[in-house]
Amino acid sequence: MNFTGKQAIVTGAGSGIGAALCRALVAAGADVVCTDVDGAAAARTAESLHGPGTATSATLDVTDPAAVKAAVDAVVERTGRLDLMFNNAGIAWGGDTELLTLEQWNAIIDVNIRGVVHGVSAAYPVMLRQGHGHIVNTSSMAGLAAAGQITSYVMTKHAIVGLSLALRSEAASRGIGVLAVCPGAVETPILDKGAVGGFVGRDYYLRGQGMKNAYSADRLARDTLQAIRRNKALLVKPRQAYVSWVFARLAPNLLQRMSIRFITDQRRRQAASAAAR
């Protein structure tokens, strides 16, 4: 795919993967609407971009279906089409499952699942009418392999992989591409947010995936554009994440035993850290 002149919407564009996607798209020549529930953050992203493409910003709460549809409709009314819909906004909670409140469960379901559904519901009919387009849903390695202490996140990201692959099987013959992006730990604010109890996200995510350093968000964004060009179903990056995915498919029972041991070790580390404070 040539991205020059393509019309794109990115949710969760105020930071992290979303902001990186906007940078990559503008650099490739696309015209991007950078959206985020934090409108000021979305504006900062858009204002920082310079390239052959263009960027504007808008405040968007993906849990509001009418607002998501209005954002899609605004692009279509202005340009006549929507070529790329990036359902990227997401949150995470980390910690033992019994510590999560029902409000936290509902919040992550609303953002990570319903937020993507709202994007698909708004963009997919438009793409069907025009006969082309690409939907990109940000999932995670947590959508391909399960681990404790991020139970709610794992649940939502598995849902996004399932949604994406099922939709792709319908959409492919109708000219629409669907991609699920499933990265390992990426250098974004989410690594240091959403802690419940003694959970330390950065330590958990990096140790759990055998990574010394988190993957670059800008590198993942470039990988994503390449995956769109190749019309891939899944993007699993970096290499450690891909190896883990293959291992999960070949030896799920062994992976489960390793996950149990990892959580036991993490609890010890978290307790020691709390005691030291």
Q: Which residues are catalytic?
A: 153
Contact 197, 96 (CB under 8 A): yes
Pairwise CA distance, residues 5 & 30, whole Å? 5
Pairwise CA distance, residues 224 & 222, whole Å? 5
Nearest to 179 by CA among 224, 136, 238: 136
Helix locations, the chain, DSSP H:
16-27, 39-47, 65-79, 102-108, 115-130, 151-171, 201-208, 217-229, 239-250, 252-276
Contact 74, 66 (CB under 8 A): no
Q: 205 Cβ partners below 8 Å, 6+ apart?
A: 184, 185, 191, 211, 214
How far apart, in Å, are the Cα atoms of 230 and each of 181, 183, 225, 243? 13, 17, 9, 21
Bridge-based pairing state of the strands 54-59 and 31-36: parallel
